Each structure stands twice: as structure tokens, then as C-alpha cells.
């Protein structure tokens, strides 16, 4: 009789151990580091600006760092603005994620330009933009346990245009007796994804009291861009710039599909004839 009781206790204890192990193994996948979600860096995202939408694409790397397969694995990424408003979301297809395996998943977000606002659109052209994000994933694990877990983070998208340089030292004013112009060399780097797109450049050049000339031109994007800004001048403006030092303000508006990057540069102007060798 006592032997039977001991045997029953042993069986009960064994079941308790088995149940405890099942629960432990069921929880292992949500321990940080077991499921690794690596979004690309700022330059790993491709940004396309259309009439109504900003399209952001990139490959997100996923790894199962556990010991067992995660069946029917899929993940969701949601993007928010600084006010917590939902901007876009992406949901991956379901897959079986094997232990130790890295997979790359193409991710695409479609962001409404109106919801982003003009400040963010401008920043997409000239600087890195960071969106708040929520990443969560769903899996079937071990004995077909359904587990959902997630974490908050940030997603940073690199600029389309960077390293804008205006070469004031090689700027000139020219005349053929009828037309008067100012020529200012400039350069910048553009992302490969923007290659072939036309960037509109408008603006003006002025001193402290008056506008001296207006700017309106286009340039084709693609890698490193070297070009010149051609500014039509009146004869009075030409005579002034050709003979008189001044302090100038260059107001530029760089526009790509309704996204505009505004920049104001200023410089002490020395007429070319008065510059040292």
C-alpha cells in the first residue's frame, strides 16, 4: 500500500515537472534576444516621393536564436509620428523560422504626405528622419502554443540629398552687352534611388536692401551632382556686383515632387576683379 502511494506521488511529481518544463519552453521565445529583428540603417532604406505618397522600402533581417522551429511566424511593424499618430504599418507573410536561421524580408511602407506634414517631407530631402515604431510577432511554438510578443523602437530613414556645397569663391558675373547674369557653382550628393528624377531649384539672391536676381532651374539627380546656378540680373545689379563688395543672401528652394528643402546661405561678396590670386 505504501509502495503504491509512493508510486502515485512520484508520478504526480513527474507530471508537475513535465508541465513546468512545457511552460518554461513555451516562454523561452519571448525572452529578448531569441527572436532578433534587425531593420536596415538610415542608408538601407529607399525613399520614393510621389504626388500623394512617400514610399519607404528596405529589407528587415529576422533570426530565430532558439532551439526549436517557430511555425507560422510573422511580424508586424507600425510607424508613428512624434504625436503618436499611426502613419503606416506592414505585415509579413507567414513562414516557418528554423533555429539559427537569418531571413531577409522585403518591407514596404506607404505614408500619406499630408499626414507626414511639410516639415517631415523637407527633412526627408536633407536629413535623417526617425519614426517611432512598434514591432510585434506571432508564432506557433513547441506543442502548437500561440505566442505574441513585441517591443518598441525607432526606424531611421536617410536623406535623399546631402552635403550641399555652394562655391562662392568661383562665382562670377558676366555680360555680353545685352544679357547680365551671375553664375554660382554648387554640388551635392543624391541617393541612387533618386537617380533620373528632376530636382527643381528656385529662389533669389539679395543684399540687405533689395532682391538682385531670381533663380529658376532644374537638375537631374544621380550620385554626386556638380552644376551651376544661373541668375539673371538687371544691368544695375550687374554693375553693382561687378564693382562693389557686399553681403549677399542666397535663398534656395529645392523641390522634388512637392517635397521642398529650404535653405538660406549668406556670404561676403567680393567682385571677381578684386579677388586675390
- Report the 10 Å Cβ neighbour count for 144: 8
Which range among 48-62, 132-146, 178-192 shows the weakest confidence by mean pLDDT?
132-146
Query: Pick the residue with more confidence: 103 or 2?
Result: 103
Whether the CB-CB separation of 216 and 205 falls below 8 Å is answered with no
Q: Which domains does the chain have, with CATH numbers?
A: 26-157 (2.60.40.1820), 161-274 (2.60.40.1820)
- Report the 10 Å Cβ neighbour count for 216: 14
Strands 198-206 and 70-80: unpaired
Query: pTM for the whole thing?
Result: 0.69
Which range among 6-20, 29-43, 185-199 shows the weakest confidence by mean pLDDT?
6-20
Query: Pick the residue with more confidence: 76 or 134?
Result: 76
Element (H, E) at 48: strand 46-49
| Residue length of the chain | 277
Q: What is the pLDDT of residue 122?
A: 81
- Confidence at 27, pLDDT banded by 50, 70, 90: very low
pLDDT(167) > 70: yes
pLDDT(38) > 90: no
Of 211, 212, 218, 203, the C-alpha closest to 256 is 218
Amino acid at each position: 500500500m505504501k509502495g503504491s502511494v509512493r508510486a502515485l506521488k512520484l508520478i504526480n511529481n513527474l507530471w508537475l515537472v513535465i508541465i513546468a518544463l512545457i511552460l518554461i519552453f513555451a516562454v523561452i521565445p519571448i525572452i529578448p534576444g531569441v527572436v532578433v529583428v534587425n531593420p536596415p540603417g538610415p542608408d538601407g532604406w529607399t525613399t520614393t516621393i510621389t504626388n500623394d505618397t512617400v514610399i519607404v522600402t528596405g529589407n528587415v533581417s529576422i533570426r530565430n536564436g532558439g532551439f526549436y522551429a517557430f511555425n507560422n511566424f510573422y511580424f508586424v511593424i507600425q510607424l508613428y509620428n512624434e504625436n503618436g499618430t499611426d502613419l503606416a504599418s506592414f505585415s509579413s507573410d507567414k513562414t516557418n523560422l528554423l533555429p539559427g536561421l537569418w531571413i531577409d524580408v522585403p518591407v514596404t511602407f506607404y505614408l500619406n504626405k499630408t499626414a507626414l506634414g511639410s516639415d517631415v517631407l523637407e527633412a526627408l530631402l536633407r536629413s535623417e528622419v526617425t519614426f517611432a515604431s512598434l514591432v510585434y510577432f506571432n508564432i506557433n511554438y513547441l506543442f502548437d502554443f500561440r505566442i505574441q510578443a513585441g517591443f518598441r523602437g525607432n526606424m531611421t530613414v536617410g536623406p535623399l540629398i546631402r552635403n550641399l556645397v555652394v562655391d562662392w569663391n568661383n562665382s562670377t558675373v558676366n555680360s555680353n552687352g545685352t544679357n547680365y547674369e551671375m553664375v554660382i557653382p554648387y554640388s551635392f550628393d543624391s541617393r541612387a534611388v533618386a537617380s533620373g528624377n528632376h530636382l527643381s531649384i528656385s529662389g533669389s539672391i539679395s543684399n540687405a536692401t533689395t532682391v538682385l536676381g531670381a533663380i529658376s532651374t532644374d537638375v537631374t539627380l544621380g550620385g554626386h551632382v556638380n552644376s551651376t546656378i544661373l541668375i539673371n540680373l538687371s544691368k544695375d545689379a550687374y554693375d553693382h556686383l561687378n564693382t562693389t563688395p557686399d553681403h549677399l543672401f542666397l535663398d534656395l528652394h529645392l523641390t522634388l515632387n512637392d517635397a521642398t528643402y529650404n535653405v538660406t546661405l549668406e556670404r561676403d561678396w567680393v567682385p571677381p576683379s578684386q579677388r586675390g590670386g
